[in-house]
Structure 1
Amino acid sequence: MGHLLDLLKQSVRTLGQAPAKRRRITPAEEYRRTVESFVREVTGQRPTDWRIFAQALTHSSYVGSNGGKQNERLEYLGDSLLGAVIAAAAYQLYPDEDEGGLTQIRSFLSSRKQINKLARNMGIDKVLRVSPGVDLEHSDVPGNALEAFIGALYLDKGFEATADFVKKQVVISRKNMDKVSRQEEDYKSAFIIKMQREGTPYLFDYLGETEETPGEVVHHIALRVGAEGEILSRGSGPSKKAADQMAAQSALRLLADR
């Protein structure tokens, strides 16, 4: 009987207690979750130190109003890594290109306009901490943040993970390269990227030069594709570069119509 009375008293005390309050999530903890989720989404890996990524995603305008660390030092590091990885990837992916061609491809892939587009495609502008007055649509801020993110990834995961990220997101991403091919006027680079993506052999075959009028030299190119080296298009121009561009432009138009 005494045991039952003790249980009844305990029940009465429990009923009189207020329900436990759910712990409130602070803005800092909510942003930490946002950063960790974004890193996992774009890299496939969980960050070891989320704070270094938060710094990469913090613009100087935000720091001025809220304190903390901004991303300019990481941007410097990421810019250097981006150029190095793109150069190495271009060297490996395009074994038949000379120095001029490789430089052209690197410039094509790492242009400020393109990096800004890639940053927005990744959604960096959605997680970037920045003051309300900054124009993210018509400025280099998203691209700068992408470079800072690359720097943070290197510090957190090392060079191999960083190189893999850059190759997938910048060099050979199907979605990004489709956008590049449609919007840029560098037809040779767009053609090379398309062939590399599809695994199709190609050759810009220099046929020589002719002198159409005294002192005016015209260079001629045949653009060959496939294992048999079938001629897809031809190009002529005052320089080899111009002839390449003409042949590539014609080839892209032909392929688009097929």
Structure 2
Amino acid sequence: MSRSRPALLALGALLACALVLLLPAARRRPPAPGRGAPANGTVRRGTVAGTDPAVAYREAAGPRAPGRLDVLLLHGQAFTSATWEALGTLALLAGEGHRAVAIDLPGYGDSPPMGTVATQQGRVAFLERILEELGLQKPVLVSPSMSGRFALPFLLLRGDRLAGFVPIAPVGTRDYAVGQYQQVQTPTLILYGDRDTGLGHQALQSLRHLPRHRVVVLPGAGHACYLDKPGDFHQALLGFLGQLQ
């Protein structure tokens, strides 16, 4: 027994040292969403009922809090709804009490192609169906790049169904006349990266004719500015939503 006591004391000392080393790491706070850490919260996946073929979506868990907004996130050509989950945007919005939903546009991610979206009228009808089937009440529509083909005609024809619009260097802005933009009364946050000297600047030339707009340029960011500067993007988005409430 006397021989084993020193060994037990040494073992106890080693365990104490290990606890001292591990405690600071346990206390360390995780990075904010969009800065390299998994976002807090869960995301449920499903398909939009009533659409044929079915449209896949991701929605952050939790109902919309009183006084908060619905947010519908579209995506660019190289991305899907999973981008907003990985970036932490869905969980961040849900954490602020908003209802955040991201969909896979037809032919992307888990959504099969849909022939009816080949025309502007078809794309407007598509988004109308999404809002109806998911029960989105005057959402804020976030539209990067390629998704402008869906968002812009919807804005011009059904802007009264949106609480706000967030175009991020969308395509298709030259398809519409100045007078069409001037008739839209939807509050708009125009976002783009200062390194996006192509589509970002081009879209601004048309979107600046929207009467109720403001512009935020993310420094050091390219075309997918939300990926390059997620913290700045989230700050600008939350600030805009705060103004709409």
* TM-score bracket, shorter-length normalisation: under 0.3
More strand by share: 2
TM-score, length basis structure 1: 0.23
TM-score, length basis structure 2: 0.24
